[in-house]
């Protein structure tokens, strides 16, 4: 497969593009992460979400330590080609390292952030 499609992405100055993971069935946004060229290429090639971990400074196949793999059903890009949308199937139902279904579990209520989604599994049990 030609990689010309990767050249069309508008990468940031540090070679990254924002990536949103959305549940393919429900449409719920589960998480946000960054991808570099290699991560996006591998994601398309494997059908499994691979991100770029800025904190680790390396490729991060989602679920490598938790087992909560994201199988990619579709890859889309926005009109400016500067944001990637992954429509995924979330294995284990947990996308967040806090043990929640979604990373977007805090809601602004009366000027403060309130956790409104339950912890489905204790992170200590996930990351041994």
Computed over every residue of the chain, the mean pLDDT equals 96
As a whole number of angstroms, the distance between CA 101 and CA 118 comes to 8
Mean per-residue pLDDT, 6-30: 98
* Structural domains of the chain sorted by starting position, each given as residue range(s) with its CATH number in brackets: 4-97 (3.10.20.810)
Helix (H) / strand (E) containing 71: strand 70-77
Could you tell me the pTM of the whole model? 0.93
Q: What percent of the chain has pLDDT over 90?
A: 95
The pLDDT value recorded for residue 58 is 97
HSE-CB at 72 with a 13 A cutoff on CA atoms is: 24
- Note the pLDDT tens digit of each residue in 22-60: 999 999 999 999 999 999 999 999 999 999 999 999 999
């Amino acid at each position: 497969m030609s990689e010309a499609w990767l050249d069309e992405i508008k990468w940031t100055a540090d070679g990254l593009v924002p990536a949103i993971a959305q549940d393919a069935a429900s449409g719920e946004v589960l998480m946000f992460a960054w991808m570099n060229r290699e991560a996006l290429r591998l994601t398309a090639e494997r059908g499994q979400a691979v991100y770029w971990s800025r904190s680790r400074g390396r490729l991060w196949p989602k679920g490598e330590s938790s087992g909560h793999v994201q199988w990619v059903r579709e890859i889309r890009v926005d009109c400016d080609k500067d944001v990637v949308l992954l429509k995924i199937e979330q294995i284990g139902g947990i996308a967040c390292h806090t043990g929640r279904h979604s990373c977007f579990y805090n809601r602004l209520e009366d000027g403060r952030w309130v956790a409104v989604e339950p912890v489905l599994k204790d992170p200590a049990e996930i990351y041994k």
